[in-house]
Structure 1
Amino acid sequence: MLKRFRSAFSAFHHKERYMSHEQEIAEKKYVVREITSEDIKDLLKLEREVYTGETPWPRSAFLTELHSSYSHLYLCVLYQNKIVAFIGGRVFFGDTHITHIAVHPDFQRLGIASFLLQEIEAFAYRQHCQTLSLEVRISNIDAKRLYRKSGYEAKKRLANYYRKGNEDALYMVKRVE
């Protein structure tokens, strides 16, 4: 019972500080740090590059998440002072929901997304969450492969989840160990 209460309460915990640091991934040095409001312009630019001209999240969505009272973690990865990847997760009643993950096309398949997933999983563990969850486009074969390799299991198909093309999503969950 206490564990269940603690995980429900963790949704409203004080904001944990993430320490900015250098990280070597695939023999390149990156800087990993928390996202700030000043980064949103660069995040929108990255979204356009990743999602072929689209911006799935407007500026207001990023601002809402960054200033949410729910416990959350939004990280970016910089290479030569340019944001090349980011991830976000929000805690809600024992689940850390991954709200967004994007890696610039020139930096995909280097292990950056796997690293970011591990950082969010460590955050979920510290928040006493039992699960991590996310949605992914049915057509995104590479992302689904990465998530399965990272231990996520498909739980259900969400019909017409994405507005563009009315594409279905796959809801995936991983147990926090």
Structure 2
Amino acid sequence: MSKKSNFFDKVRVLFTKQIVYLPKEVDLGELFLIREVKYTDIRHLIAIEKEVYEGEVPWGKTAFLSELNGPQAVLYLLVECDQEVVGFIGTRFDEEDGHITNIAVSKEFQGRGVATTLLNEVKETARKAGYESLSLEVRVSNMDAQRLYRKFGFVARSVKKRYYHSNNEDALDMFYRFEEER
């Protein structure tokens, strides 16, 4: 196969895999709404980052806008409780993989199933669209997140040295393949 036809095959795959997400309500002891992120929501995502990352903002407005306007397919979901944004997840898709770029839940709502619900939504949406895998990076010190990802079937592939610029912490590269559940 020539490089040219391989390129066009990849482009064809990107345009044939549809990322469709319809808003839904879920009951996690109280009613939550899950929906796609809009541009006007970015300030809420940044506020959650500041809270969760103790004043740091790993993804600023420019980064979120770049993701939402970029050439790759993305799925950014948020969770609302009483019209307050309490968590979000971002996923960027290439021809085979959905890469979870970020996930954060307001401290008040942690431990209540919000992150689990967001991961379930991304996993199910990617599976239905025909993607082969999901991937993500997580701080080596974030054991709670690692436990959650392992519960979902993610396995560690490698360690990315000095991945996080704020403190040069290593990241654990984790991977999930859908064929393992078929």
TM-score by length of 2: 0.88
Contact 1:76 1:87 in 2 (8 A): yes
Tell me the equivalent position of 1:29: 31
Letter in 1 for 2:24: H
State how 1:9-20 maps to structure 2 within 5 Å. 9-13=12-16, 16-20=19-23
Q: Secondary structure at the match of 1:164?
A: coil
The reply to whether residue 109 of structure 1 matches residue 116 of structure 2 is: no
1:109-162 per-position Cα deviation (integer Å, ceiling 9, x unaligned) = 111111111111112112211110000000001000100111100000000000
State how 1:34-73 maps to structure 2 within 5 Å. 34-73=36-75
The reply to whether residue 125 of structure 1 matches residue 137 of structure 2 is: no
Give % identity.
Answer: 42
Deviation at 1:93, TM superposition (A): 2.4
Moved more, 29-38 or 5-14: 5-14
Distance 1:175 1:7 in 2: 19
State how 1:157-172 maps to structure 2 within 5 Å. 157-172=159-174
Would the alpha carbon gap of residues 46 and 53 (structure 1) be closer, same or farther in structure 2, given more than 3 Å must change? same
Distance 1:119 1:8 in 2: 25
Distance 1:159 1:130 in 2: 26
Contact 1:10 1:128 in 2 (8 A): no
Distance 1:71 1:10 in 2: 11
Would the alpha carbon gap of residues 118 and 9 (structure 1) be closer, same or farther in structure 2, given more than 3 Å must change? farther
Gaps of 5+ in 2: 1-7
Deviation at 1:15, TM superposition (A): 5.9
Gaps of 5+ in 1: none
Would the alpha carbon gap of residues 141 and 161 (structure 1) be closer, same or farther in structure 2, given more than 3 Å must change? same
Letter in 2 for 1:164: S
Would the alpha carbon gap of residues 96 and 14 (structure 1) be closer, same or farther in structure 2, given more than 3 Å must change? closer
Letter in 2 for 1:79: C
Letter in 2 for 1:24: D
Contact 2:52 2:105 in 1 (8 A): yes
Contact 2:88 2:103 in 1 (8 A): yes
Would the alpha carbon gap of residues 156 and 126 (structure 1) be closer, same or farther in structure 2, given more than 3 Å must change? same
Distance 1:151 1:67 in 2: 30
Tell me the equivalent position of 1:134: 136
Distance 1:89 1:39 in 2: 16
Contact 1:13 1:70 in 2 (8 A): no
